[in-house]
């Protein structure tokens, strides 16, 4: 029947079928050739691409201006770290409003993501399909390839720097405040003002660093914005009760200690602490710089009195500590001085030493508390305002108890910048002791509880004598310094007296 159907087909139909079969065979042959060519190209690309080491960067790859050709990820990362370190000592001048200030890139925490930059550099031409990788390799050979070296600064460090540099640059916002007049709290309204826009200024800094910067000194202009005061009058209206108050005498004689006490007190006064919030006295008072109102003053270090920036601010933290105790605010961190002080009883002090010693407290009330500092006639007073919830018939007091004493022994001799012949007592001997502080609670005048608040130890300190070493006679200076190192009185006096035989004019 098939043969009969074929015979019945016209010649035209049979020719059409033959042409269709011919085209099909041609298409199959063409596809096979294309497939063979494709596979051949893939094989060629595969061998071409794998001529290059997978774990090293291609020739012509750069990270910023660093040529990292042939480097591994770890090598590129180290090269980036070295580059960042080399740029950190440069100075950046920040212009802000009415003033300007300098800082270094290192202080701002200049850094770069070396790990990811290194991976991107080494992986260029090594990832994706064969054609993508081939194209990247050819482009790199012809024009090279640069991974942008993106610098960043530490937001926390830079914010701190901007707050200091721009402290007096603008007519800033003024917080609402509270003072005591005739025994009653009086609130002063706050007002808006201009302040540095930290986030916007950090963007300006990073844009400058990533726009062709090569580590040289530079200048940027800070951004500012209108800012509402952090403390509004409405925040203070309910805080009409003085929860605790304490006063110490520092002397308004213009001494370095007085300057530092006043600066520290002004930095702490005016703070509003919300329920559950922790407050650091050190963070509120730092940085201890001239720009922040401080000067060099006496402080304890290694058993002796030395001159340091902000010396004397421990009286601020100590006065605040006692006001907080009377307000029964939760103290979360407090440390005693290394030696005894004379403006409060033992165990009633709170020392500050940069990031080593701090006074911290947490507001354990259900309402905010406000800190007022008052400086008057050489007296420093801290008032803690809040909403009183304690029983009126309940009173508290704090009692210092000495547990043990330790006599000071010997004499310490130290070098001074005074001229040769100077031999004076710098500080007298100080006894050491251990003490504890009791919190005593009374109800209707009757004692109901007595608990230990802290236990403190104060080291003894021998009498300290300063010996002058200022002389143009190098031999005499060397003899006196050696004698001081011996810590022997007769040897020191003998070395000093020998200067009269050397014809030393400074003696």
Domains of the chain, by residue range, sit at 2-49, 52-233, 238-390, 403-437+456-507
Beta strands in 315-431 (DSSP E): 330-333, 360-362, 369-376, 379-386, 394-406, 411-419, 423-427
The series of mean pLDDT values per 10 residues for the chain, 507 residues long, is 55 73 74 67 56 75 86 89 90 90 92 88 76 72 85 92 85 83 78 91 94 90 90 82 94 87 94 94 91 80 68 94 98 93 93 90 93 94 93 96 90 88 85 94 95 94 88 91 91 83 40
Task: Write down the pLDDT at residue 44.
Answer: 56
Q: What tokens appear for 250 in the block?
A: 């520092």
Integer Cα distance of 243 and 180 in angstroms = 13
Task: Write down the pLDDT at residue 504.
Answer: 41
Integer Cα distance of 125 and 390 in angstroms = 73
Task: Write down the pLDDT at residue 306.
Answer: 67
**CB-hemisphere CA count at 13 Å for 495?**
27
Integer Cα distance of 314 and 301 in angstroms = 13
Exposed e or buried b per residue across 170-201, where buried means at least 16 C-beta atoms within 10 angstroms of its C-beta: bebbebbbbeeeeeebebeebeeebbbbbeeb
Task: Write down the pLDDT at residue 9.
Answer: 60
Integer Cα distance of 266 and 372 in angstroms = 9
Task: Write down the pLDDT at residue 171.
Answer: 86
CB 45 within 8 A of CB 137: no
């Amino acid at each position: 029947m098939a043969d009969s159907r074929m015979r019945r087909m016209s010649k035209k139909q049979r020719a059409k079928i033959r042409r269709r079969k011919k085209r099909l065979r041609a298409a199959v042959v063409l596809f096979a050739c294309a497939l063979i060519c494709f596979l051949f190209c893939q094989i060629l690309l595969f061998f071409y691409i794998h001529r290059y080491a997978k774990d090293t960067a291609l020739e012509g790859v750069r990270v910023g201006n660093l040529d990292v050709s042939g480097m591994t990820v770890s090598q590129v990362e180290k090269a980036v770290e070295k580059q960042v370190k080399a740029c950190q000592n440069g100075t950046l001048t920040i212009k802000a409003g009415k003033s300007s200030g300098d800082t270094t890139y290192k202080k701002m925490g200049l850094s770069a993501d070396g790990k990811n930059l290194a991976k991107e550099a080494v992986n260029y031409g090594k990832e994706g399909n064969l054609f993508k990788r081939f194209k990247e390799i050819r482009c790199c050979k012809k024009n090279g390839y640069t991974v942008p070296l993106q610098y960043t600064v530490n937001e926390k460090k830079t914010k701190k720097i901007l707050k200091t540099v721009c402290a007096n640059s603008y007519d800033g916002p003024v917080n609402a405040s509270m003072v005591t007049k005739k025994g009653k709290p009086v609130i002063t309204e706050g007002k808006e003002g201009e302040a540095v826009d930290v986030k916007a200024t950090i963007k300006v800094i990073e844009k400058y660093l990533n726009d062709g910067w090569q580590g040289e000194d530079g200048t940027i202009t800070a951004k500012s914005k209108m800012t509402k005061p952090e403390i509004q009058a409405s925040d203070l209206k309910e805080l009409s009760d003085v929860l605790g108050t304490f006063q110490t005498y520092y002397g308004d004689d213009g001494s370095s200690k007085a300057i530092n006490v006043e600066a520290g007190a002004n930095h702490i006064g005016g703070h509003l602490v919300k329920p559950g919030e922790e407050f650091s006295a050190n963070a509120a008072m730092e940085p201890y710089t001239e720009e922040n109102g401080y000067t060099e003053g006496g402080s304890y270090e290694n058993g002796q009195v030395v001159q340091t920036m902000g010396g004397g601010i421990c009286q601020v933290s100590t006065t605040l500590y006692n006001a907080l105790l009377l307000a029964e605010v939760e103290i979360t961190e407090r440390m005693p001085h290394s030696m005894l002080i004379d403006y409060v009883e033992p165990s009633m002090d709170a020392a500050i030493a940069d990031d080593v010693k701090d006074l911290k407290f947490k507001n354990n009330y259900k309402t905010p508390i406000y800190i007022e500092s008052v400086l008057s006639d050489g007296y420093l007073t801290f008032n803690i305002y809040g909403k009183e919830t304690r029983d009126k018939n309940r009173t508290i007091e704090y009692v210092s108890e000495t547990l043990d004493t330790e006599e000071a022994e010997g004499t310490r001799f130290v070098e001074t910048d005074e001229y040769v012949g100077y031999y004076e007592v710098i500080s007298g001997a100080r006894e050491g002791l251990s003490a504890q502080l009791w919190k005593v609670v009374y109800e209707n005048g009757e004692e109901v509880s007595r608990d230990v608040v802290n236990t403190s130890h104060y080291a003894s300190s021998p009498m300290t004598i300063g010996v002058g070493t200022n002389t143009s006679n190098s031999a005499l200076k060397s003899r006196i310094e050696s004698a001081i190192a011996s810590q022997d009185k007769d040897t020191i006096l003998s070395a000093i007296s020998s200067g009269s035989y050397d014809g030393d004019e400074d003696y």
